[in-house]
Amino acid sequence: MKLIRKTAFFILLFSISTTLFSQKTKMDSLLKIIQRKAIDTNTAKCGYSLSSLYMEKGMVDSGFKYSSKSYALSKQLKFTRGLAVNSNIFGQVYKYQGNLDSAVFYFTQAKQYYKFLKDTAREAGMLNNLGV
């Protein structure tokens, strides 16, 4: 019985450390792409992906920082998908901070972008967010 517990413990420990290491590696890779400062949609995508990773870790300020940069680049490139995703992230940040008026504004903006993109699933997600 003790052997089973020890084995289960080491498997759990290994899986947690592997998950944390892979997230760190992914964040490092995204940061390298962003630091190249290329003006393309791939950089914008990396910005909002990195922002989401920071948000998952509870680092809201860092998430907002990278989302803001990604939003500005998406606006410059007229990259509607980037504008939609970043608007949603802004809404999440403001919701987390308790600033519900701003959250509603950005969720509504994201919904409009998703409607333009004919992405009904994400548009419905924004309606769900607006139910906050």
Q: Which pLDDT tens digit goes with each residue over 13-50?
A: 455 544 544 556 888 888 787 788 778 898 899 899 99
pTM given for the model: 0.78
Q: What pLDDT does 25 receive?
A: 81
Whether the Cβ atoms of residue 116 and residue 80 lie closer than 8 Å to each other: yes
Whether the Cβ atoms of residue 49 and residue 29 lie closer than 8 Å to each other: no
Query: Model confidence over 53-73: pLDDT tens digits?
Result: 999 888 999 999 999 999 999
Q: What pLDDT does 3 receive?
A: 57
Q: What pLDDT does 14 receive?
A: 52
Residue partners of 43: CB distance under 8 A and separation at least 6: 33, 34, 36, 37, 70, 73
- When pLDDT is cut at 50, 70 and 90, the band that residue 7 belongs to is low
